[in-house]
Amino acid sequence: MIELDDIDRQILRSLARDASQSAGALGRTLGLSQPATWRRIKRLTEAGVLRGRRVRLDAARLGFGVTVFLGIKLARKGHVNLEDFERAVSAIPEVQTVEHVLGVYDYRLRVVARDLSDFERVLRRRIMALPGAGEVDANVVLSEERRLGPLG
Amino acid sequence: MLDDTDRRILRQYQAEPDAPAADLAARAGVTSATWARRLDRMRRDGVVGPLEAVIDWRALGYEVMVSMRVTLDKTQPRAFEDFLDAARPIPEVLELQTFAGRVDVRILLIARDMGHYLSLYRERILTLPHIADIDTLLHIAQVKNEERLPL
């Protein structure tokens, strides 16, 4: 496991908000030279801490007004092939994330849809039709906050 | 308003934001100039947000990830606000969602190991205000984590 100092944490905090900035620009805000900043970013990348970049699109303005978190219980455990289920659920375009979990459900899904009737279509035609899908619990997202986590 | 060209551009961009712009423009079937102009416009309009670095918490020693699904005591008029205000400062909290459904709030929490998780659970989570019920899902494998929009 990699050890971080305060400057590493500042770099991660800054890149988590805006990863488009150059090493030079980032270094200037931290009072660090461009090569020193670049070396730190390289070390964090090689340690697997920085795992690429992601663009955040405004889902609502692109016509996706509804986000739903689903808990899915598998039916008839032992008779369900997990890999088949995982492959089929991952292939649904509206399904953004799939987590295998331990608890009252077996899988946790994040699903986007245009509106509630579009979500109902995805749920009935795609998700309930998955091989092995049993009980489903749907919760419609009203608000969401993402935090920077323990980088402070 | 967005047209089909905008959607093609966004589809390529969200799939691989680190690829060279010229390659992405070619895949979207537009010139590099059109690519840059349209992305600039969508950034200005707020459709395209910032590029964010993806942090792997496991590489930083956080082995445990848990979804905590909380039901609140809604007879308390400020149940949501009080709960969120108290949960927000916990450093190990990565996400907070509120819902219309059986669950009221979800907390995505990370911990270094099960011992650390247990102490967070007992000292920071169970002490949050207005909890009526709580159940936890322990994440054991990430099957899909792209968070792309089906454009």
H helical segments located in chain B? 4-15, 21-28, 32-44, 79-87, 114-120
Q: What is the number of domains present in chain A?
A: 2
Instruction: Examine residue A113 and state whether it is found in any structural domain, yes or no.
Output: yes
* pLDDT for residue A76: 73
CA angle B85, B90, B92 (to 5 degrees): 140
Answer whether A110 touches B (CB < 8 Å): yes
Q: How high is the mean pLDDT in each 10-residue block of chain A (152 residues)?
A: 91 94 94 96 96 93 95 82 93 97 96 97 95 93 95 79
Provide the β-strand partners of residue A80: none
Instruction: Examine residue A109 and state whether it is found in any structural domain, yes or no.
Output: yes
User: CB distance A152–B106 less than 8 Å?
Assistant: no
Determine the distance in angstroms separating the CA of A116 from the nearest CA of chain B, rounded to an integer: 12
Calculate Rg over the CA atoms of chain B: 20
Contacts of A61 in chain B (CB under 8 A): 45-47
Question: Among A1, A12, A53, whose Cβ lies nearest the Cβ of B51?
Answer: A53
Instruction: Examine residue A149 and state whether it is found in any structural domain, yes or no.
Output: no
* pLDDT for residue B146: 84
pTM: 0.92
CATH code for residues B4-44? 1.10.10
At A129, the amino acid letter reads A
Mean pLDDT over the full length of chain B:
95
User: Left, alpha or beta for A52 (phi > 0: left; psi -120 to 50: alpha)?
Assistant: left
Q: What is the pLDDT of residues B33-85, one digit of tens each?
A: 999 999 999 999 999 999 999 999 999 999 999 999 999 999 999 999 999 99
Q: Does one domain contain both A131 and A98? A: yes
Q: Does one domain contain both A32 and A74? A: no
Contacts of B150 in chain A (CB under 8 A): 93-94, 112
The CATH label, of 3.40.50.80, 3.40.50.2020, 3.30.70.920, 3.40.309.10, for the domain at B58-138 is 3.30.70.920
Instruction: Examine residue A116 and state whether it is found in any structural domain, yes or no.
Output: yes
Does residue A114 contact residue A64 with C-beta atoms inside 8 Å?
yes
Answer whether A115 touches B (CB < 8 Å): no
User: CB distance A150–B54 less than 8 Å?
Assistant: no
Continuous segment of H or E residues that includes residue B60:
none
What is the complex's ipTM, to 2 decimals? 0.92
Instruction: Examine residue A131 and state whether it is found in any structural domain, yes or no.
Output: yes
Q: Does one domain contain both A16 and A65? A: no
Distance separating alpha carbons of residues B54 and A108, to the nearest angstrom? 20
* pLDDT for residue B83: 98
Domain extents in chain B:
4-44, 58-138
Domain containing residue A128: CATH number: 3.30.70.920
List the domain range (segments joined by +) for residue A24.
Answer: 6-46
- Virtual CA dihedral for A50, B142, A146, B3, nearest 10 degrees? 90
Q: Does one domain contain both A21 and A82? A: no
Answer whether B51 touches A (CB < 8 Å): yes
Beta-carbon contacts of B18 under 8 Å, excluding residues fewer than 6 positions away, are A52, A53
- Count how many pairs of residues, chain A against chain B, have C-beta atoms within 8 Å: 196
* pLDDT for residue A80: 76
Instruction: Examine residue A55 and state whether it is found in any structural domain, yes or no.
Output: no
User: CB distance A149–B100 less than 8 Å?
Assistant: no
Answer whether A81 touches B (CB < 8 Å): no
Does residue B122 contact residue B134 with C-beta atoms inside 8 Å?
no
Instruction: Examine residue A102 and state whether it is found in any structural domain, yes or no.
Output: yes
* pLDDT for residue A149: 93
Q: Does one domain contain both A80 and A25? A: no
DSSP string, A134-145: EEEEEEEEEEEE
Q: Does one domain contain both A71 and A42? A: no
* pLDDT for residue A81: 87
* pLDDT for residue A78: 66
Closest-CA residue of chain A to B150: A93
* pLDDT for residue B101: 85
Does residue A83 contact residue A120 with C-beta atoms inside 8 Å?
no
Q: Does one domain contain both A64 and A136? A: yes
Q: What is the DSSP letter of A125?
A: I
Contacts of A71 in chain B (CB under 8 A): 137
- Residue matched to tokens 């659920």: A89
Question: Among B97, B139, B144, whose Cβ lies nearest the Cβ of A144?
Answer: B97
Instruction: Examine residue A101 and state whether it is found in any structural domain, yes or no.
Output: yes
Q: Does one domain contain both A40 and A72? A: no
Answer whether A88 touches B (CB < 8 Å): no
User: CB distance A149–B94 less than 8 Å?
Assistant: yes
Domain containing residue A10: CATH number: 1.10.10.10
B143: nearest Cα among A77, A136, A48, A86: A86
Within a 13 Å sphere around the CA of A45, how many CA atoms are in the beta-carbon half?
11
Distance separating alpha carbons of residues A33 and A35, to the nearest angstrom? 6
Contacts of B52 in chain A (CB under 8 A): 15-19, 53-56
Q: Does one domain contain both A88 and A32? A: no
Q: Does one domain contain both A39 and A84? A: no
